[in-house]
């Protein structure tokens, strides 16, 4: 049983790290801001989500597991809000006459 859970943790965490990698590469390589933001949300939602999923069987108490899930949900909420706000800020920065430094 514990071997199966360990394998599950390893697969989920490895997949999570892959999405962090994808998010970082996207942030560096994508050509414009809105697509870069798109890459960012992959790390927030899938990267952290899979890491949390992989750590869940290893939580030492139900409260610990609840905290892990709460962390993921809070980061999702923050990510969704911030990308909305920043997309608008980016559009404003581009349309303003005095644009980027």
Partner 1 sequence: MIVVTAVDIELAVLVLAVAAWTIAARQAFPAVVGYVAYGLLLSLVWVRLYAVDVALTEAAIGSGVTGVVLIGAATRLRGTEAEAAAEQPRAFLRLAAAALCVGMTVALAAAVLLMPDPAPTLAPEAVAHLPSTGLGNAVTAVLLAYRVVDTMFESVVLLLALVGVWSLAPDRDWGGAPKFPRPAGQDGVLTFFAQLLPPVGIVVGIHIVWIGADEPGGKFQGGTILAAMWIIAMTAGLVDAPQISRCWLRLVLVAGTAAFLVIGVAGFAWAAGFLAYPEGYAKPLILVIEAFMTLSVAATLGMLVGGPPQQELRR
Partner 2 sequence: MNEFLFATAGLTLATVAMGLFRILAGPGDVDRMMAAQLLGTGGIAALLLAAAGTGVRGAEDVALALALLAAFASMAFVNSATSNSNADDPEGADGR
Under the criterion CB under 8 A, does residue 11 sit at the interface with partner 2?
no
Q: Which partner in partner 2, partner 1, none is near 34 (CB below 5 to 8 A by kind)?
A: none
Q: Which is nearer to partner 2, 1 or 101 (CB)?
A: 101
Cα 43 to Cα 40: distance, rounded to the nearest angstrom: 6
Kindly identify the residues of this chain, within the stretch 66-95, that bind partner 1 according to CB under 8 A. Answer: 70, 74, 77, 81, 84-85
DSSP annotation string for 20-63: HHHHHHHHHH-SSHHHHHHHHHHIIIIIHHHHHHHHGGG-SSHH
Per-residue contact string for residues 38-67; x = within reach of partner 2 by CB under 8 A: --x--xx--xx--xx--x--x-----x--x
Among 31, 62, 97, 101, binds partner 1 (CB under 8 A): 101
Under the criterion CB under 8 A, does residue 79 sit at the interface with partner 2?
yes
Closest contact distance (angstroms) between CB of 28 and partner 2 is: 6
Comparing CA positions, the residue from 61, 46, 59, 62 lying closest to residue 12 is: 46
Are 30 and 2 spatial neighbours (Cβ–Cβ below 8 Å)? no
Q: Please give the DSSP secondary-structure letter assigned to residue 97.
A: S
């Amino acid at each position: 049983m514990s071997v199966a859970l360990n394998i599950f943790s390893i697969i989920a965490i490895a997949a999570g790290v892959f999405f962090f990698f994808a998010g970082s590469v996207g942030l560096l390589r994508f050509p414009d801001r809105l697509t870069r933001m798109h890459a960012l949300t992959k790390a927030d939602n899938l990267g952290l989500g899979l890491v949390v999923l992989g750590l869940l069987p290893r939580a030492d108490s139900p409260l610990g597991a609840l905290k892990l899930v709460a962390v993921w949900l809070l980061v999702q909420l923050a990510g969704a809000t911030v990308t909305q706000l920043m997309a608008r800020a980016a559009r404003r920065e581009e349309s303003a006459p005095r644009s980027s430094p």
